[in-house]
Amino acid sequence: MNNQFSIFNNLNLIKKKKVIRIDYLYLDLKTCDRCVGTDEVLEAVIKQLTPAFALAGYTIDYHKIEIMSEEDARTHWFLSSPTIRVNHRDICDEIIESDCGCCGEISGRQTDCRVFNYEGQLYEVPPKAMLAELILKYAFYHDNHKPIENYQLPNNLKTFFEGKKHKQN
């Protein structure tokens, strides 16, 4: 009986679903063209990649996370908007930002948001090919990735949240 139980347990481990976690962290999906555009492109890419992942035995666990406050930013170690993470790793190797008029309008203060560097070009909304390439890369990328140590809220986000709070009052 013990041998049968061991075999059954081993089969369950083999059949266990493999999961790819994708997180989309953003400041606004109503006003910000960058966040809205990135959301649309990301959802289209996930829809196109899902059958290929399923064929390989993977499911996608997709989370949209609106960063509404400094506390949210600290909880999620948020560095720039928008951010896409695959298996808890930011898909962008670097943070490049430029003035985002939409987020400036939301907060009443100049706010820098992420731009995406792909093949030597900067994009406010990442191209589908870029997202597909990076999602595939990080879905199967195995390293000893460590979370950010000593997180500090970036000044541009601090300014954004202060301005947003002031504007709402």
Closest CA to 24 of 126, 105, 102, 96: 126
Looking at residue 12, its pLDDT comes to: 47
Q: Is the dihedral of CA 167, 97, 90, 38 positive or negative?
A: positive
CA distance 18 to 53: 9
Residue 75: both structure tokens together? 């909880």
Q: What is the CATH number assigned to the segment(s) 17-141+151-168?
A: 3.40.30.10
The residue written with tokens 């989309």 in the block is: 24
pLDDT of residue 169: 78
Return per-residue pLDDT of the chain as tens, 169 residues: 455 555 545 444 455 679 999 999 999 999 999 999 999 999 999 999 999 999 999 999 999 999 999 999 999 999 999 999 999 999 998 999 999 999 999 999 999 999 999 999 999 999 999 999 999 999 987 766 566 678 899 999 999 999 998 888 7
Q: Is 130 within 8 Å of 118 (Cβ atoms)?
A: yes
Q: What is the pLDDT of residue 72?
A: 97
The secondary structure element, H or E, covering residue 26 is strand 18-26
